[in-house]
Structure 1
């Protein structure tokens, strides 16, 4: 580069090239060659990193120190999962009174650790909030004969152990399930609902048939392949093991521009700044794991192609129905419109699959909260630092609030405090608000198309037929030919794995790259960003990415149209038994036992309308004013709970939750009778205490600013009821005073009328 022959020419270049194009071309050519060598060296590091990572017995990208508590391989039904306790980093202290936080990582082709990949992660947020944290990870190879049910039972065992480690905490653990782990956790919670506190499922496809046309290409893959027989074939070729690299391959095919060009070009264009970030992520992205053939077949048949989880059609091997309506913990669903792997319809469609209206959600005593991000991608939901600092921080900070929300369907929105007119009332950077929703409003996100359900049901029937034919005619031959040796060779030759190996030190052709790259780093000559050739490079890259994007969109549209055309044929639908005009699947009806339970519960609530005291009256009034929810946002909840703690220091969050839900159900059961009973609940209190209770309600409601016109009208009604109770209390006080003056002996023997009533209330 500093040849004596070139050096004299450099000063004269501007004279011969007034525009500087030759000089800029020379500078760009030199920089491009240097960046090419540095880029190849980054790829070499990536390959070496991959080989080092997969050679580990327990590869993980978890960024925190851990202690293993339970090895799933030692359970009665062995699995390759393990329960880890997260050790808090230096400078972070854990509050022993806070409920545990359990993060379950997805096993969908990649290795474990993404939930705690870096400090700004789900685990990092929970640790900074003072929660004891636990992590459920896994090993790269399954145990022989391992099933999905075995994994679900192992996670139930892990959760029981976490609860046992915190006997003084009455609230159950908060559980986070990312992607594939989300539906797995929901299955566990449906089987053992009493073990779970609030559940956060992030980017989890619980309703795989759902999706907006033109935006959910992955849901067509099973039908276009003729069903799940392909999964069985790959498992048989793997000698009973399914290579997770095939799942990663499907994910990468969704975005050909990023997979084949943009991701690599970003490193090439900014090799000095992007290399470390790229290598850090590739350590997880390339850490492929293996699934058992029986496991992946169950997943594809029952969830992806069959879509049986969202309509309570799954039954365990011992006869237990997996019905998501059994979940009693609040469920927080976090998804994004920018996610092409689990778009919002697939994350939220299970709600409308189970329920025709919100009344059904309330009758099942379920609280479902959903949050839809505008733009982040699938991995950004649980990897992005900005999402962790905002959404996950707010979810973690408000889990106690979410835990006491009355049954119903809510949408959350997060706003920056300094951008709101009531900023003075907010003590944190963001504010989390909750808005009650109906199933009709949810349908705007789900965009359900009944005709598509018939198509997917047809594809599921065809899948069963093809799988049966494969097992009868082909599977015996494939299994006879496949051996552990051939399976290992096929895994190594997978394109996703081979790319790492070819660009590593295992390839002799890469040997000179390290030395050349070291020389370039010592004397690198980067060009300015305004270099015309560098600008042209950027434009050319954009055009290449644009062409790949256009091809990907065309492919997705063609796949969608082919699927809709083939499986929309009335003849094909009739052949598989779906040509009757009836919906292919119905929402699960309420079982007679559950209906009788609801009827008994309503009768009990009606009998308790007039039972209680000032706490019940205040809670009932607050819920009524706020339209059925306990608070418009976290501020009301904090004031309500703090006030109750002052009035009843020994009350726990569980007591507060019970009181709130009980009063919510009483209002829901018979609102007019519940309101008319408020003066009865206040009987026996002096007028001053009734005024204090009314002021307490006013103080709680003021936490979120001025009331709306509707809420103000409701508060006026509550105020009138309290005034009526106050008048009755004043009248009683006057009566007591009169009795005291006229009949002191009787008064001494029996006490005042209000005291007698108060004694009766205490005895009751």
Structure 2
């Protein structure tokens, strides 16, 4: 919500908004209650109920109820047994694919609990060793590894299907003593070196990071930019203060809890170990209706078909991994509370911070409007934090592509088969073309068509955007982020008090055995082992379930009793949803009541309003000046890249993947540049784009010097003529082609480069207005 300028304005506004939130919550509850009642009455009234029919319906319902109860509790018993088995096995990664261990970082000079796995293809033979390898990093956010390759239709599966070698960064349940996030980043960078050494002709590996694995991938790119190829971050929270009020309540939790100290307390109670079950518990508490009603009722209502899917997912969801105290402190302090990664202030050693502007690889950001854990603002706002203008982004040579799903939730980004077959498959397809893009910010859209048989096919559109357009995702132009600066300061004060007063006592009092016992009795673990075969009370359940399966009685789901059951479950779910909405409204109210007032008296407003010109000012100014100074130096390949970039700059800013492939094919066949290493191509594109973007007249005037041979000029012109014949050129592109004919043909006048530049700029402005409209 926008922050008022005086305390007298703030209080009434907060009270009014809080009242509106409560009204909206009750109105939503009443609507859903009325809809549920209407469904019940409609279903009951559709049946003619005489006493005999009512008796039969009740009898069949209660027989089914007893059998269903046996099957339901037996499924929970199987879940507990699976959990115990997984614990006994050492919690291996829950991958759908066979794998082998390539490197174990526990043996590195600075050991960490990570390892590198190679996925062994079963149905697909990876024959083309020149294809880029893919390396997938799963989130270490309470759960164990495996979500990126949980099923056949997954990130691992689509990369294997496309013929790429695939590697997986896994981790072990217990951290190594003293390991830090910087140690983890170094180890993962070493994994990438190992992969590149195994595939030396394929270019640097593609790195995919899921959720917190996304910012882990970005840390590697910032720390070791020379080892990383294209980076894909899926559902990755990068700008933790971002979001919209009444939509993303989890961003307030750090302020409501007082900062980093609860994570330190949890670690100290764990004997210096932070239990990942706390993080999973936070996810579950974010949606109590789903946790307490919807998920168990889905199992209950589909107990004959749902158990396999339920048990498969619960094996991953119930695997709780640990972090040490320093790791969780760094994460909460620098990311959740301090938001320092997006600002370039997250230190990995004294005086040395991760700077995301050091990343040289193209970055694809995949987010969803339906994700309430990592909303789109948190996934993409770091771009505007680092680069206040589009020109700053381009000058730094960075390519960033955003892909937005319209509805899928947070976990669906990683586990949905539909998302894997569509979005992730197209990401794999488009990577080669993305590496040839000039620096800038692009929106990726996937166009789906179906043939006569209903089989889908996809094409990708890339449309250039401006960094300034990101403001459209914000309700209040990020003014509501101002109070979070006060949270950071309060957190530091609370942390100082805790570390000096509470920590020494707990460190001496908590023994490892007590910490292990507390972890074993965490509610999330307790509900698993207590309902397993370890519990004698669960003994009869297995036999009762087998008897129920043999004598399974059908149930009429349209009968009054079944409809009443569904109504009761719906009302329970809606009641919990009402409680959640009221809780989140109260958290929002408390947050802005406390920290909104603080920001009015402190310097947070000043800090937030600064454009940070020193930080965001064309970070690549030196690179741009160097490129322009050497504009007349280069070879035939540099000239071709420059010509292509000039044509793109004169275009509409919208590119179709199929057309890009056709153009690249013509360039490769006609000019023999298909063998250019992807890293070398990206270097050339970055250098030439700086010249074309910031000195277009120089780019045109010096083009001929890159191709002194008349034969090379003729070849280049012939290929571009062929591309033009297949493309729908706009006015600026046609004029540019005429100018190239003059410049690169037999000796002729210089031409009107100023006209070219003006037409291209006009075309770009029109395209920008169309995109924003």
Using the size of structure 1 for normalisation, the TM-score is 0.86
Q: For residues 64-79 of structure 1, what are the structure 2 equivalents within 5 Å? A: 64-79=97-112
Q: Matches of 2:744 and 2:327 in 1, distance apart?
A: 66
Q: Contact 2:394–2:440 at 8 Å: present in 1 too?
A: yes
User: 1:274-293: per-residue Cα shift (whole Å, max 9, x none)?
Assistant: 11000000000001111111
| Alignment counterpart, residue 120 of structure 2, candidates 87, 93, 97 | 87
Alignment partner, residue 601 of structure 1: 626
SS at match of 2:732: helix
Kindly tell me: are residues 658 and 641 of structure 1, through their superposed partners in 2, closer, same or farther at Cα, counting changes over 3 Å?
A: farther
Alignment partner, residue 515 of structure 2: 487
Kindly tell me: are residues 689 and 596 of structure 1, through their superposed partners in 2, closer, same or farther at Cα, counting changes over 3 Å?
A: closer
Following TM superposition, by how much is the alpha carbon of 1:220 offset from its aligned partner in structure 2, in angstroms?
Answer: 0.9
Following TM superposition, by how much is the alpha carbon of 1:659 offset from its aligned partner in structure 2, in angstroms?
Answer: 4.5
Following TM superposition, by how much is the alpha carbon of 1:16 offset from its aligned partner in structure 2, in angstroms?
Answer: 11
Higher mean displacement: 229-238 or 476-485: 476-485
2:347 matches 1:321: no
2:729 matches 1:697: no
SS at match of 1:303: helix
User: 1:431-488: per-residue Cα shift (whole Å, max 9, x none)?
Assistant: 1111111122112224465443331111111111111111111112212210111101
Alignment partner, residue 732 of structure 2: 714
Q: Contact 1:610–1:677 at 8 Å: present in 2 too?
A: no
SS at match of 2:367: strand
SS at match of 2:170: strand
Q: For residues 202-351 of structure 1, what are the structure 2 equivalents within 5 Å? A: 202-317=234-349, 319-351=351-383
Q: Matches of 1:554 and 1:203 in 2, distance apart?
A: 27
SS at match of 1:569: helix
| Alignment counterpart, residue 578 of structure 2, candidates 550, 554, 558 | 550
Q: Contact 2:238–2:379 at 8 Å: present in 1 too?
A: yes
Higher mean displacement: 450-459 or 29-38: 450-459
Higher mean displacement: 343-352 or 593-602: 593-602
2:681 matches 1:652: no
| Alignment counterpart, residue 671 of structure 1, candidates 696, 713, 721 | 696
Q: For residues 209-608 of structure 1, what are the structure 2 equivalents within 5 Å? A: 209-317=241-349, 319-418=351-450, 429-447=457-475, 449-570=477-598, 574=601, 577-578=602-603, 581-583=606-608, 587=612, 589-590=614-615, 597-598=622-623, 600-607=625-632
Q: Which has the higher contact order (CA 8 A, sep 6+)?
A: 2
Following TM superposition, by how much is the alpha carbon of 1:561 offset from its aligned partner in structure 2, in angstroms?
Answer: 1.2
Q: Matches of 2:388 and 2:158 in 1, distance apart?
A: 36
Alignment partner, residue 7 of structure 2: none
Higher mean displacement: 194-203 or 688-697: 688-697
Q: Matches of 1:556 and 1:580 in 2, distance apart?
A: 25
2:209 matches 1:184: no
| Alignment counterpart, residue 139 of structure 1, candidates 172, 180, 183 | 172
Following TM superposition, by how much is the alpha carbon of 1:619 offset from its aligned partner in structure 2, in angstroms?
Answer: 2.0
User: 1:131-167: per-residue Cα shift (whole Å, max 9, x none)?
Assistant: 0110100000101111111111111111111111112
Q: For residues 23-38 of structure 1, what are the structure 2 equivalents within 5 Å? A: 23-38=56-71
2:653 matches 1:635: no
Of the two, which has the highest radius of gyration?
A: 1
Q: Contact 1:311–1:587 at 8 Å: present in 2 too?
A: no
Q: Matches of 1:659 and 1:450 in 2, distance apart?
A: 36
User: 1:496-537: per-residue Cα shift (whole Å, max 9, x none)?
Assistant: 111112211111111100001100000101213322221222
Kindly tell me: are residues 438 and 730 of structure 1, through their superposed partners in 2, closer, same or farther at Cα, counting changes over 3 Å?
A: closer
Following TM superposition, by how much is the alpha carbon of 1:676 offset from its aligned partner in structure 2, in angstroms?
Answer: 5.6
Q: Matches of 1:53 and 1:338 in 2, distance apart?
A: 32
Following TM superposition, by how much is the alpha carbon of 1:588 offset from its aligned partner in structure 2, in angstroms?
Answer: 6.8
Alignment partner, residue 109 of structure 1: 142
Q: Contact 1:174–1:197 at 8 Å: present in 2 too?
A: yes
Kindly tell me: are residues 39 and 612 of structure 1, through their superposed partners in 2, closer, same or farther at Cα, counting changes over 3 Å?
A: closer
Q: Matches of 1:503 and 1:252 in 2, distance apart?
A: 19
User: 1:11-36: per-residue Cα shift (whole Å, max 9, x none)?
Assistant: xxx99946612111111111111111
Kindly tell me: are residues 74 and 585 of structure 1, through their superposed partners in 2, closer, same or farther at Cα, counting changes over 3 Å?
A: farther
Q: Matches of 2:338 and 2:563 in 1, distance apart?
A: 50
Kindly tell me: are residues 682 and 190 of structure 1, through their superposed partners in 2, closer, same or farther at Cα, counting changes over 3 Å?
A: closer
Q: Contact 2:628–2:691 at 8 Å: present in 1 too?
A: no
Higher mean displacement: 323-332 or 539-548: 539-548
Q: Contact 2:153–2:420 at 8 Å: present in 1 too?
A: yes
Q: Contact 1:105–1:137 at 8 Å: present in 2 too?
A: yes
Q: Contact 1:353–1:587 at 8 Å: present in 2 too?
A: no
Q: Matches of 2:532 and 2:124 in 1, distance apart?
A: 39
Higher mean displacement: 365-374 or 584-593: 584-593
SS at match of 2:236: coil
Coordinate RMSD, CA, aligned: 2.8
Q: Matches of 1:16 and 1:168 in 2, distance apart?
A: 75
Q: Contact 1:104–1:135 at 8 Å: present in 2 too?
A: yes
Q: Contact 2:126–2:165 at 8 Å: present in 1 too?
A: no
2:133 matches 1:100: yes
Q: Matches of 1:76 and 1:726 in 2, distance apart?
A: 57
Alignment partner, residue 4 of structure 1: none
Q: Contact 2:631–2:702 at 8 Å: present in 1 too?
A: no
Following TM superposition, by how much is the alpha carbon of 1:613 offset from its aligned partner in structure 2, in angstroms?
Answer: 8.7
| Alignment counterpart, residue 93 of structure 2, candidates 42, 60, 77 | 60
Following TM superposition, by how much is the alpha carbon of 1:649 offset from its aligned partner in structure 2, in angstroms?
Answer: 3.3
Following TM superposition, by how much is the alpha carbon of 1:56 offset from its aligned partner in structure 2, in angstroms?
Answer: 1.8
SS at match of 1:261: helix
Following TM superposition, by how much is the alpha carbon of 1:691 offset from its aligned partner in structure 2, in angstroms?
Answer: 6.5
Q: Contact 1:242–1:293 at 8 Å: present in 2 too?
A: yes
Kindly tell me: are residues 532 and 207 of structure 1, through their superposed partners in 2, closer, same or farther at Cα, counting changes over 3 Å?
A: same
Following TM superposition, by how much is the alpha carbon of 1:184 offset from its aligned partner in structure 2, in angstroms?
Answer: 1.3
SS at match of 2:733: helix
Q: Contact 1:176–1:201 at 8 Å: present in 2 too?
A: yes
Q: Matches of 1:349 and 1:246 in 2, distance apart?
A: 27
Q: Matches of 2:83 and 2:661 in 1, distance apart?
A: 48
Alignment partner, residue 12 of structure 2: none
SS at match of 2:730: helix
Higher mean displacement: 519-528 or 633-642: 633-642
User: 1:326-361: per-residue Cα shift (whole Å, max 9, x none)?
Assistant: 100001111111111111111111111111111110
Higher mean displacement: 527-536 or 329-338: 527-536
User: 1:704-727: per-residue Cα shift (whole Å, max 9, x none)?
Assistant: xxx3xxx51122202422453587
Following TM superposition, by how much is the alpha carbon of 1:648 offset from its aligned partner in structure 2, in angstroms?
Answer: 3.7
User: 1:362-401: per-residue Cα shift (whole Å, max 9, x none)?
Assistant: 0111111111111111111111111000000000011111
2:724 matches 1:724: no
Q: Contact 2:450–2:456 at 8 Å: present in 1 too?
A: no
Higher mean displacement: 319-328 or 682-691: 682-691
Using the size of structure 2 for normalisation, the TM-score is 0.85
Kindly tell me: are residues 588 and 484 of structure 1, through their superposed partners in 2, closer, same or farther at Cα, counting changes over 3 Å?
A: farther
Higher mean displacement: 595-604 or 259-268: 595-604
Alignment partner, residue 752 of structure 2: none
Structure 1 spans left out of the alignment, 5+ residues: 1-13, 732-764
